[in-house]
Amino acid sequence: MDVLSWILVAIRWAHALAAVAWVGGSIFYIMVLRPSRRRMQPDAPEYGAAIGAEFRSLVNTAIGVLLLTGVILSLSRLTADTVTAPYVGVLVAKIILALYMFYVVRFLRPHIYTEEMAEGRGRWDRVRGRLTNTTAVLITGVVVIGLSDVLDALFERGLGT
């Protein structure tokens, strides 16, 4: 392997690590932290705020790494002669879903807290809450990781391996 190949391996590793950190952290939040916060004493709201601030820092870092490495990896693969139309279609779907996640977390989540939304809100607020809550972002992240595997399989099939 030449130096460029090793650099691309490092970039792929950083991309995967950022995705796993975000999605894995979301799983931990949903399965462990959120249930434990519900059982905590009501006089410890600063604990939840501290956890949220730290996790937001992790997610913001992951978003930056995913954007930078994703652009590099996409350009690297799209310049190959073996790229097919299905590959491009799956890549576009992955990019759209990833951008949806970035938008929700970066711009919508600081302003709405769907887990704490009152039931009496309007229909649009309930729909928006379901599409932007932590669980919806997690499911989207799992789908995006799955699409990465589909892209790898499509690329390898194009190589004839």
Q: How far apart are CA 150 and CA 33, in angstroms?
A: 31
Question: Tens digit of pLDDT for each residue in 69-83?
Answer: 999 999 999 998 888
pLDDT of 128 reads 59
Q: Give the chain's mean pLDDT.
A: 83
Average pLDDT of 64-73?
Answer: 96
pTM, 2 dp: 0.80
Q: Write out the residue range of the structural domain in which residue 98 sits.
A: 3-159
Dist CA 97 CA 137 (whole Å): 9
Whether 7 contacts 76, CB under 8 Å? no
Q: What is the largest CA-CA distance in the chain?
A: 61
Could you give the CA distance from residue 140 to residue 26 in angstroms, rounded to a whole number? 11
Q: Distance between CA 36 and CA 116 in Å, rounded?
A: 16
Q: How far is residue 122's CA from residue 143's CA, in Å, rounded to a whole number?
A: 29
CA distance 61 to 18: 8
For residue 124, the tally of other CB atoms under 10 A from its CB is 8
Q: Angle at which helices 134-159 and 3-28 pack, to 10 degrees? A: 150
How many domains does the structure of the chain reveal? 1
The token pair that represents 16 in the structure block? 């995967």
pLDDT one-digit tens code per residue, 30-45: 888 878 877 776 556 6
